[in-house]
Amino acid sequence: MSNFELIEFERITDDILGCTEEDCLSGLKFLQLPNRDKVVNLVDNLFQIIYPGYFLSRSMKFYNLRHYLTMLLEDVAYHVHQQVLLVLRYRQDIETEAEREQQAQEITHAFIHVIPEVRKLLMLDVEAFYVGDPAAENRDEIIVSYPGLRAVTVYRIAHELVKLGVPVLPRIMTEYAHAQTGVDINPGASIGKHFFIDHGTGIVIGETTIIGDHVKIYQGVTLGGVTTRGGQSLRGQKRHPTIEDNVTIYSGASILGGRTVIGHDAVIGGNTFITKSVPPYTKVSMENQDKVCKGEEDEI
Show me where the domains of the chain are located: 29-183, 189-286
Coil/strand/helix, residue 66: helix
Q: What confidence tens digit (pLDDT) does each residue in 196-252 have?
A: 999 999 999 999 999 999 999 999 999 999 876 767 777 878 999 999 999 999 999
Q: How far apart are CA 103 and CA 99, in angstroms?
A: 6
Q: What CATH superfamily is the domain 29-183? A: serine acetyltransferase, domain 1 (1.10.3130.10)
Residue 154 has φ and ψ, to the nearest 5°, of -65, -40
pLDDT given at position 89? 92
pLDDT given at position 296? 59
pLDDT given at position 21? 56
pLDDT given at position 184? 98
Of the ranges 90-104, 170-184, 219-233, which one carries the lowest mean pLDDT score?
219-233
pLDDT given at position 133? 95
* Cα dihedral across residues 265, 269, 270, 272: positive or negative: negative
- What value does the mean pLDDT take over residues 135-148? 96
Coil/strand/helix, residue 171: helix
Of the ranges 58-62, 163-167, 176-180, 185-189, which one carries the lowest mean pLDDT score?
58-62
Within this chain, domains 29-183 and 189-286 share the same CATH topology: no
Q: Which residue has the higher pLDDT, 269 or 58?
A: 269
pLDDT given at position 27? 47
Q: Is the pLDDT of residue 295 over 80?
A: no
Q: What confidence tens digit (pLDDT) does each residue in 8-61 have?
A: 877 887 777 776 555 555 545 656 789 999 999 999 999 999 999 888 766 556
Calculate the CA dihedral of residues 215, 192, 147, 282 and round it to 10 degrees. Answer: 20
Kindly give, in sequence order, each residue whose CB lies less than 8 Å from that of residue 298, ignoring residues fewer than 6 positions away: none
DSSP code, position 227: -
pLDDT given at position 22? 57
CB neighbourhood size of 123 (10 A): 14
pLDDT given at position 293? 52
User: 42 and 76 in contact (C-beta within 8 Å)?
Assistant: yes
Q: What is the pTM of this model?
A: 0.88
pLDDT given at position 126? 98
Angle ∠(71,77,82) on CA atoms, nearest 5: 130
| End-to-end Cα, the chain, rounded Å | 56
pLDDT given at position 66? 84
Q: What topology does CATH give the domain 189-286?
A: UDP N-Acetylglucosamine Acyltransferase; domain 1 (2.160.10)
